[in-house]
Amino acid sequence: MNKLTVEDLEIKGKRVLMRVDFNVPLENGKVANDKRIRAALPTIKYIMDRGGRLVLMSHLGRPEGKKVPEMSLKPCVPVLSELLGIQVGFSEDCIGDTADKAVEKIGEKEVLLLENLRYYKEETENDPGFAAQLAKLGDVYVNDAFGTAHRAHASTQGVTRHIDRCGAGYLLMKELDYLGKIIENPEMPFVAILGGAKISGKIDVISNLLPKVDKIIIGGGMTYTFFKAKGMEIGNSLLEKDKIDFAKKLLEQGADKIVLPVDCLVSDTFDFNRRKTGELKVVSADAIPPGWFGLDIGPKSIEQFRKALKGAKTIVWNGPMGVFEIDDTSKGTYQVANMLAEATEKGAITVIGGGDSASAVKKAGVADRVSHVSTGGGASLELMEGKELPGVSALTDR
């Protein structure tokens, strides 16, 4: 990454405007999971230690340009205050007189958190005027919000047009280091595991990775579009009819690389909203009964995937193997999570591409046994697609 980092910026006495990702889950007005707040601590502490006057900005949820009290960032203040051992300030607005006055009051080594950026629709619209108002609050800018780095928003891109020196924080640097390097220069053999509901969400990823990997393991709902492309019966399993031809093309291009499940866990009834299934049974991939739903990979597929991963030096995973939100159909996903933990112990670099995969390794209890768990599902996907992230390209060149 040929961009400035926080270590390149003059910080002492300066107002450091920093984009963080505090889009945390709230329950009863309190932070239910502080992982994203903790992820920003290394950069926050670095700036504090060097005498910066730190102004943090983030979004939370999707208030869509309205001031929704339930989506206020205020509950993050006591959590961050406890983690830092200081009293963090809070501004009831992110722009205007309220924000200006709050920023004026903070001294060196002090921290202020601004209210939810997305209370203004101008944030997601990357409005130049809104970006200019944010930029007034800082002398230098740091982006440490990987989870929104794939968005060209006012706080990730627009603001950089008004501040001369803009650098990456430690979390952003770490994400780019892991995801960027494995895509551009992976240690071989390189295996990608792709799951999730739809092939449409992974088209660019598969197309970009296919020439680079030794194997691509396919699981999840997208499996059944590939099965259909092979002329197989899939019952009532998830299908994207308009992607069948694309799946055929991929199977032809990657005949020696694509690894599909050989058996499936199926059910005669399925209600995702009620988290319920009917009768469950394992069948061969070419024997899904008409009217039944494919919901997970079967035991033979798990062993097949284990063999495909044997000896891999680099593994990237994005997307679950089945409906892991339901206990009865979660085994395949959790088995893959454990395979990655085992591969890491044998020296492989293992990267989990955020989103549901990150939730899966956490639920499987192996999040601390893999090389890296990304904090941004959408951003990690776009890196895997070979795209530039607007929030990164907007930073100051070295």
Any idea which residues carry the catalytic annotation? 36, 198, 355, 378
Beta bridge partners of 18: 56, 142
Residue 29: other Cβ atoms inside 10 A: 10
Is the CA virtual torsion 250, 255, 260, 263 positive or negative? positive
What are the distances in angstroms from CA 345 to CA 87, 129, 369? 40, 50, 8
Phi-psi region of 65 (alpha: psi -120 to 50; beta: other; left: phi over 0): left
35 is written with which tokens? 């992982």
31-42 burial code (b ≥16 CB/10 A, e <16)? beebebbebbeb
37 is written with which tokens? 């707040």
Whole-angstrom Cα distance, residue 335 to residue 19? 36
Query: What is the DSSP pairing of strand 263-267 with strand 280-284?
Result: antiparallel
DSSP state letter for 202: G
φ, ψ of residue 265 to 5 degrees: the values are -90, 120
97 is written with which tokens? 């007189």
Whole-angstrom Cα distance, residue 161 to residue 285? 54
Whole-angstrom Cα distance, residue 111 to residue 103? 9
Is the CA virtual torsion 44, 45, 48, 52 positive or negative? negative
Residues composing the chain? 398
Whole-angstrom Cα distance, residue 168 to residue 142? 5
Whole-angstrom Cα distance, residue 394 to residue 158? 8
